Structure 1
Amino acid sequence: MSTEQSSTTRDAGLAALANELRPELHRYCARLMGSIIEGEDVVQDALVRALEALPELDDATPLRPWLFRIAHNRAMDLLRSRAIRNAEPIDTANDIVDPDNPDPAEALLRQDVVRTAVSHFTELPLHQRSVVILKDVLDESLAEIAALLNLTVDAVKGHLARGRAQLRTINAQASAPRAARPPSDAVAQYATLFNQRDWDGLRALLADDVKLRESAHPLRSGRDDVGHFFTIYAKIEGLWLTPAWIDDREVILVFEDRSDPKPSYFMWLEWRDGQITFIRDYRYVRYVVSDLETS
């Protein structure tokens, strides 16, 4: 096989694996960041970086842990840049159950973690946060976690025990859900026009320099190009939009059936002087709603 053919094959393999792993990567990154929106941003950025670094990767390197390491490192860079609290000192905890012989108590601990709200994970120090997510949410082995985070297995056990204990305390002290927040006039207008299928009215809201991002699809720029977005939606029957709040950001939930209890995906907008300057549509990465917390 020629070098060019080998490179093409590796690119195709990475693309296929990345598509398969995106939901897992998002579950990890969303909890690291404490935000399903920022988690997807990290995943997208990590996959771009992985594609750029692929030509320099040794052929013997397993792609799955390599992708997770890139996503983990990108999230860590962003978190450290915000001066999120430093990780606490490592304590060993040798009483963590052997993953090959789990018991009911271990299973209950993991269930508690999985049910924890995404935003609550940011209350854990970084190492505890990473270890708990990898073990209890993604079911990675202790050895795999140690390799990814460059820790000893005993250190992983220590972070896991402390993180689980702290999450139990956080969940026990969690306050009642906040009352629903009303939508802004601009977002309410957008949803109303969409539900009325008033595509010309929606195009009139677009700024001249508006941009549209749809996952890994090419960025659309300018009123004419982004206006085609509504031409595509005009062909889809039965959609219903509802304003909501996610991660303290105003968004628009998209229901493919108004009777569905949970949205199919969502989008969010940025505005300037009453005009839309940016649209982010999550139609092609619907896994992000699996951890949805709205208000």
Structure 2
Amino acid sequence: MTAVADPRAAAHEERPASAISFDEVYRSELSYVLHSLRRLGVSDAELEDVAHDVFVSIHRHLGEFDRTRPLRPWVFAFVYRIARDHRRLARHQKEVGGSEEQAAALAPMPDEALDDERLRRILVEALDSLDIEKRRLIVMHDIDGTPVTEIAKVLDVPLNTAYSRLRLARAALEKALENARSKP
């Protein structure tokens, strides 16, 4: 009589000791994924669905993760690709031209808290006007604090190219901020 091996035990034995579990990634990176998706322009109404897509993709590729590299830039690569594809859908394209509601939202507010909200909206509008390639560099480096050396690895480009792209992204953001500030 032969013993039947437990398939769960065999799967566990095949996993390298240095592998990271999906549960660990999910618990440690859920908040980061949600914030990054917002920063990349995913609406609050669709945030959970898009985050789900990110984690499904991470789950599929978790075996490819190199534990010698930081986790966050690897996770951000998934966030970026899913957000980019999500924004390309026709239903997410924004119409050109402003409405009275948008103009009212950008009008100066007397209270300091409302002024902060106005500045936040200007920044969001400026970020929304950037193409997704430039936006991801701003989010990765200036908001999330990812070093340019890691960004270069994630993008698979030379370090100087990553610095150049970041400089161009910042210049585009500055121009977009000027345009957003000049609106009534």
Bin for the TM-score computed over the shorter chain: 0.5 to 0.7
The code of the aligned residue for 2:158 comes to: T
Which of 1 and 2 has higher RCO (CA within 8 Å, sep 6+)? 2
Alignment coverage as a number of residue pairs:
148
Matched residue, 1:49: 57
Contact 1:145 1:156 in 2 (8 A): yes
**Equivalents in 1 of 2:36, 2:67: separation in Å?**
25
Change (3 A) 1:29 1:58: closer
The answer to whether residue 180 in structure 2 is matched with residue 174 in structure 1 is yes
Matched residue, 1:118: 124
Shift of 1:177: 10
Fraction of identical pairs, as percent: 23
Contact 1:31 1:39 in 2 (8 A): no
**Equivalents in 2 of 1:58, 1:131: separation in Å?**
21
> How big is the alpha-carbon RMSD for the aligned residues of Structure 1 and Structure 2?
3.7
Change (3 A) 1:155 1:127: farther
**Equivalents in 1 of 2:48, 2:183: separation in Å?**
24
Matched residue, 2:12: 4
SS of 1:117 mapped into structure 2: helix
Change (3 A) 1:25 1:78: same
Matched residue, 1:153: 159
The code of the aligned residue for 1:170 comes to: A
**Equivalents in 2 of 1:70, 1:141: separation in Å?**
18
SS of 2:21 mapped into structure 1: helix
Shift of 1:148: 1.6
Name the one with the larger strand percent. Answer: 1
Change (3 A) 1:37 1:127: same
Matched residue, 1:20: 28
Shift of 1:80: 3.7
Matched residue, 2:82: 74
Name the one with the larger helix percent. Answer: 2
The code of the aligned residue for 2:75 comes to: L
Contact 1:18 1:47 in 2 (8 A): yes
TM-score by length of 2: 0.61
